[in-house]
Every structure is written in C-alpha cells, then in structure tokens.
Structure 1
Amino acid sequence: MLDASAGSERLFADHYVNLRAPHASDAIAAQLRETGVVTLDGLTTRQTVLASASRLMQITPHPHGAPDGLTLIHDTGSYAHRAGFAGLGNGELLAHTERSGTPKPPRLILLVCLQPASTGGETLLADGLDVHARLVSQNRAAAIALCQPRTAYFGAGTGHASQVFTIQADGRISIRLRQDGLARWSPIVQPYLPALRSAVTASQCRLTLQAGQGYLLDNHRWLHARVSPGTAGSCAPWESPASRFRTASRPTRQPACCPRRERPSDAPQLRGGDSHDRGQPARAGGLQGRQPHRSHRPGHG
C-alpha cells in the first residue's frame, strides 16, 4: 500500500523502473507483484510507447483506440456532459477501474503523458487493497455488502453486472468501480456508497506526470482518477491542452499480478465473484438482467 500523504515526486521515485536497464521486464514484473504499480519515463513518442507496451503486454483494443492499439486521450470538445465519456473532456474524472462495464476488464493499464497541462489535472491513484482494508476496519457492514454478487451494474445496455470487491479463489482481492452516470447500484449497497467514497478519497495519492512519464498499473487492484482543471497544483496528462496515450492489455506472463492477501481470522467472511473469476455461476444479488439500452456506448471506465 502507498502512503496517501506521500508527495508526487516521492511516489514516482518509489515505484520507478528504468525501461532502458538490463532485465527491465523482470524488474517491472516483480514491482507489479509487490505493489501493483510501476512508474516509467523516456516514453516521449508514440513509437516508444507502442514499442514498450508491446514488449510488456499483449495489447487489447479500446473503442476509441487507433489501429495500433493506443488511445490518445485529450479534450475533443465533442462529449461534454455525456455519461461515460468524461475521459475525453477536460473535467474531473472520479476514481474508477478501466473497462468496468465489460465481463473481463484488462489486467494492465499503461498511461503516458504526451503533453502536460498548464494547471490542474493531476492523477489520483488509490490502491484497492487499501480501500478494502479501510472498510473492513471502519465499516464491516459496508465491506461485506460491497462483496455481494451482482449488486452493481456498470455500463449502458451492454454493460456488466458485478460487485465492487471480489475475493478470488486464491485469496486475492480485486476491485471494479465506476462512479459516473453509467453506474447503477442495488438497494443492498446504496447505503454504503458514502463509506466507499470516503475510503477511496482517504486512500488516494497524487501523481504529477511530465512529458514522457507514465505509469503501468494492475487494473484489477488500482483505481485511477483525474483532478478537475483549475485546481491548485502541478500539471498532469489529461486536461486540455494536455494529452496522453493509453493502452490496455493482458500481461504477457503470469508474474504481473497482485499478491495474495491473507485474511485474518477475525475478518468478515466476504463472498463474491463473477462467474469468470470463480469458475462457477455467480449467485444472484441485487441486480438482475440487463439494464435499458442506450444509444451510445461508454467510452471510458
């Protein structure tokens, strides 16, 4: 877990791996196993981003991606106030995991700053293990409810019913979340959403990226967000006229996974899991069936 009070420079330095060093791929895999996040630099062109991503992962397509698999994230001016498209604007982006409305979200996400903004827009990162641990210690009922199967529906008509936390068969805890207009909640968990948001906020750490810098994170463990423009602080990759490259992927080898988290004997016995996570049909929770179809597909989160 990260120290939420740590400064941006310390956060970057503590998780930095030199891509140009010998055996960099092994070091990145080890860092992903330990903390789930790696910071990188030297990614100054589209070609270097693509080459590095291809070496580390198997790139998967994104609805707004280019043919080479990279997605340029910037303010397009075309998606103002449309649910699911906040990433293509210049406003605040609440903490989320990528592609939460799909059955199998990508395991790794690489985000690189191409051009930093003049003000605001810093990255906010939150470790899902920290979020879960805070809930277990401060609000056990919330931790239990947020693991109940099918208590959240993420996405539009082709979205996915799931839950915020999933306890995997091997003991790992994974997280899936979005907080925009394309998130719907069962009455079972609605009373606990303020506690969830509070735990996420308390776990967030700011990360300021300069041109050519980026981060690789475990999308099944980490939440990422964007500070709204005009907020005091250094620049980061999203706000106009800033831009970034993003690519989502499956890891090329097994070591890129979050570590097993042992459950203390007095911790709540949390249940949950999509059918693809646990190898068996998910039991019904609060949300059943498919939500009403919408005319557009969500672009982000």
Structure 2
Amino acid sequence: MPTLSLFEAHRTTRTLPEQPRDIVTQLQTQGLATIEGLMTRTAVLALAQRVMRVVPHRDSDSDELTTIQDIGRRARQPGLGGLGNGELLPHTERSSEPRPPRLMLLVCQRPAATGGDVILTDGQAVRDYLAEHSPAALEALTLPNTAFYGDGGGHPSQVFTLHPGQRASIRLRQDSLAAFSPLVSVYLPQLRQAIDAVQQRLTLEAGQGYLLDNSRWLHARTAFTGDRVCLRALGTPRFPMPTGFPQGAPSQVGAPTTVGGGTL
C-alpha cells in the first residue's frame, strides 16, 4: 500500500461555523494539520481566528497576519531571512522569545516560479532518531541553557526541553542569531543529520497550507525565484493542547488520517 504524502496524511476538513474538530484533533495528536481551499486573505484570517488567539508580530499587517514575500536587500539583515528568497534552515518560529507562539498557520497565496518548497520536521522523530543513533548527542542537547537564540534581548534555552508526564519539546534556530555552548556544539552535526533523516517536503499550491504545533515541528523553506506570497498567523490555541510530544513513542507522520477538502 503506498505511503501517503505528508500533505495527504494530515489533510483536514473544516466544519463551520463551529471550531474545526478534525483540525483540533490533528493538532492535539500529531501537532500538524494540512488544509486547502483558503484562496483569500479573509478566509485565512477567519480560520486563524477560529483555532487561535492571533498575536501580532513585528512584521504583521494591521489584521495581524504577516505577508511572507521577498522584500529584497533588507531581508539580508539578521532575523529577516524569512522575508527574502533564500533557503531557510529548520527552525522554531520566534525561538528568541521566552514563550514562542504555540501555533503557526501558513497558507500559500501565490506559488514561486521555481523552488519555495516547505520542509517540515517532526521534533519527536528527531528525538527518536537521536535516541537510537546518538544518545550522547540527545543527552547534551537536553542540557539546560546550552543555547542562546536572538540578539542581546534574546533567550537562553536548550534544543530539547523535558516536561512532566514524559513529554518533551524542541526549540531551535540555525542562523546568525543562534549560539551554542561548547558542550552542545560538538553534537550539532548529529542533530543536523537527524533532521535531514526525518524531514519531509511540501509543495504548496495556491490556497494550500498547514497549521503546526511550534513546540513540536520545525519548519524550513527552499530558495525560490518569482513572486511567491504566503500569509502567516501566530497565536495561542483556543483549545487544550498537551505540552510538546511524548518521549519515546514512535511518531505517526505517515499515518493516514481524515481526508477531505472544502473551502472556508
């Protein structure tokens, strides 16, 4: 039986006007839901407001959505790489904040001419890979305050954080605003190898997107050409979500789930 693509395996329907139950279930259990049919900014904002309390971002517009597109030379400044057309390495959104937003919604409005694929990496799968192939690296990457994300106003952290109830979360950035203790730096090649081994690619068409648990999933992007435009919302879930992901349990990235479509 063929394995479903990442998009198909996490595709959801949306029940209106109530909270979209299958999206909620996907986020609570898998930390990821894929969606389609959001062809307008109004539709993207409506879905975002149903599932999260949207929080503003430095680059967001008046409706608190952020337009993600190439802004040219200014995107070369530290921390602005997402607004350029270059490659973005796997990272946690707003990793330099004391409490990064729990949910991120990203929807494609206009695809790139070439490139611009989304790369998603399940932190649970990364941790499981390290536990099997490099337990010393996993131990080091869990040591408190061995990473610092951001400029002078950033935040000390660690790649993996353990929580009560045998759960864990991931926080990572890999640009010029990330610094690591020598205790951890020696294991960064193993971390990158684990990420490369489990990451999955999405090619989004107009109206397609994803909702992810920012404490579980890393996101990235390949370089692109053309006038690619996406809309992004960040926020706090309007429903209960367990912290992070279970330790030691196999991730279900490829498992089939509710399949459907529809428009908002």
User: What's the TM-score once normalised by structure 2's chain length?
Assistant: 0.89
Between the aligned partners of 1:65 and 1:226, the Cα distance in structure 2 is: 19
Aligned length: 249
Check if 1:154 corresponds to 2:161.
no
2:136 aligns with: 141
CA distance in 1, matches of 2:249, 2:204: 35
User: Given that residues 120 and 227 in structure 1 are in contact (C-alpha distance below 8 angstroms), is that contact kept between their aligned partners in structure 2?
Assistant: yes
1:32-51 superposed matches below 5 A: 32-51=27-46
Instruction: Give the drift of 1:21.
Output: 6.3
1:24, distance to aligned residue in structure 2 (A): 5.8
Alignment partner of 2:121: what SS? strand
Q: In structure 2, how many angstroms separate the alpha carbons of the residues matched to 1:255 and 1:84?
A: 28
Counterpart Cα distance in 2 of 1:184 and 1:258: 23
> Deviation of residue 23 (structure 1)?
5.9
Equivalents in 2 of 1:67, 1:257: separation in Å?
30
Matched to 1:182, the amino acid is L
1:245 aligns to what? Answer: 231
Tell me the equivalent position of 2:66.
71
Over residues 27-48 of structure 1, what are the superposed CA-to-partner deviations in whole Å (9 max), with x where a residue is unaligned? Answer: 1111112211000111111111
Which residue pairs with 1:195 in the alignment?
Answer: 190
Q: Is the partner of 1:133 in helix, strand or coil?
A: helix
**Which amino acid in structure 2 is aligned with residue 37 of structure 1?**
L
SS at match of 2:114: coil
Percent identity of paired positions between Structure 1 and Structure 2: 48
Describe the SS at the equivalent of 2:7.
helix
Is the CA contact 1:113–1:209 (under 8 Å) kept in the aligned structure 2? yes
Corresponding position of 2:104: 109
SS in 1 for 2:182: coil
Does the 8 Å CA contact 2:146/2:156 hold for their aligned counterparts? yes
Aligned alpha-carbon RMSD (Å) = 2.0
Task: From 167, 172, 175, give the equivalent of 2:162.
Answer: 167
How far has the Cα of 1:186 moved from its partner?
0.5
Identify unmatched segments of 5+ residues in structure 2. Answer: 251-264
Higher RCO (Cα < 8 Å, 6 or more apart):
2
1: distance between equivalents of 2:210 and 2:37?
12
* Residue equivalent to 2:80: 85
Hey, which of these two has a bigger chunk of strand by percent? 2
What's the TM-score, normalizing by structure 1?
Answer: 0.78
What's 2:7 paired with? 12
Structure 2 residue aligned with 1:26: 21
Gaps of 5+ in 1: 230-238, 265-301
Q: Distance in 1 between matches of 2:240 and 2:231?
A: 25
Q: Is 1:181 equivalent to 2:167 in the alignment? A: no
Report if the CA contact (8 A) 2:120-2:217 is conserved.
yes
CA deviation after TM superposition for structure 1 residue 52, in Å:
0.8
Give SS of 2:183's match.
coil
Deviations 1:56-99 (A, max 9, x none): 11001111001211000000013243221110100100000100
What is the SS of the residue equivalent to 2:73? coil
- Paired amino acid for 1:241: D
Corresponding residue number in structure 1 for 2:256:
none
Residue in structure 2 matched with residue 294 of structure 1 by the alignment: none
Distance between the aligned counterparts of 1:166 and 1:15, measured in 2? 26
State the distance in 2 between where 1:68 and 1:24 align: 20
Cα distance in 2 for residues equivalent to 1:160 and 1:13: 36
Measured against aligned partners, the alpha-carbon deviations of 1:217-261 in whole angstroms (never above 9, x if no partner) come to 0000000000123xxxxxxxxx54111000100001114765533
* 2:253 corresponding residue in structure 1: none
